Structure 1
Amino acid sequence: MAERLPSYSAFWPYYLREHARPWTRALHFTGTSLALLCLLLLIVTGSWWWLLAALVAGYLFAWIGHFFIEHNRPATFTHPLWSLYSDFRMYGLWVAGRLGDELRRAGVQP
């Protein structure tokens, strides 16, 4: 994506299409789960190293999916806050079992 999208409502379907392959989403969900676990460990232990671990886990798994499976550029490079929000939105929809409907609306086969 060379240009910036004008609104979050335009970004969200784009974001889902950039995660069209199931293995890309699986890597995102793995990274997000590990990042959340690391943040929990940060709270429990008070060790700030867990914050670094959360960032590494969250981005490493996602970027592997984009570069090696999806073969696209992560949206976080052009829309960092929308991308972060969308990652947690996609994760929450997946956990709730409602991601398939959103993917179909964006033109992606779940």
Structure 2
Amino acid sequence: MNQTTEKNATETANTHNSTRTDMIKTEASSKQAFYDFYLDEHQNMACRRLHFAGSSFGLLGLAKSIKTGSVKPLTKGIAAGYACAWVGHFFFEKNKPASFKFPLKSFASDFRMYGDVLRGNLSLKDRKFDKAR
């Protein structure tokens, strides 16, 4: 391989890696932007608590489904989870759940919020204790 061919191959590889890195950064910033929006939709502490309880019901349903080999507990857990979340939005937050427009992103963000609560990055007592932003 001559020097020109090596140089072109290196430039092509660098461009490819740079483009891939840019795509990953854009995707990560897009996920963060949606999560920031998601947190804005969950300012009310009663709504956050209901989301936390609902996610816990969903996880308990999943665990029981795995243990029993039945889908019924999972279905009940999901129903209870969404019921809690929607009560939080309609009665406390006074907005529409993000899951109506962005179901998959909202589902992922709900569990990210759940994890942030467990790690102490989001408070269920007062927003002034939030560290997630």
Measured against the shorter chain, the TM-score band is 0.7 to 0.9
Per chain length, whose mean CA-contact separation is higher, i.e. which structure has more relative contact order (CA < 8 Å, sep 6+)? 1
1:41 equivalent in structure 2:
64
Give the deviation of 1:24 after TM superposition.
Answer: 0.4
Amino acid at match of 1:64: V
Q: Aligned partners of 1:96, 1:46: CA distance in 2, in Å?
A: 31
Q: Tell me the alpha carbon deviations over residues 34-89 of structure 1, each in whole angstroms, 9 at most, x when there is no partner.
A: 11011100001111111211210110000000000000000001111110000000
State the shift of 1:10 in Å.
1.9
Runs of 4 or more consecutive aligned structure 1 residues displaced over 4 Å after TM superposition = none
Unaligned segments of structure 1, at least 5 residues: 1-6, 106-110
Whether 1:101 aligns to 2:131 is yes
Return the match for 1:27 from 50, 57, 72: 50
In 2, Cα distance between equivalents of 1:40 and 1:20:
29
Aligned residues: 98
1:9, distance to aligned residue in structure 2 (A): 2.6
Alignment of 1:1-110 (within 5 A): 7-99=30-122, 100-102=130-132, 105=133
Unaligned runs of 5+ in 2: 1-29, 123-129
The residue matched to 1:8 in structure 2 has which SS?
A: helix
Quote the RMSD (CA, aligned, Å): 1.3
Query: 1:3-41 CA distances to partner (integer Å, 9 max, x unpaired)?
Result: xxxx32321111001000111000000000111011100
Q: TM-score normalised to the size of structure 1?
A: 0.84
Partners of 1:69 and 1:98 in 2: how far apart?
A: 22
Contact 2:55–2:114, Cα closer than 8 Å, also in 1: yes
Question: Taking structure 2 as the reference length, what is the TM-score of the superposition?
Answer: 0.70
The percentage of counterpart residues that share the same residue type is: 49
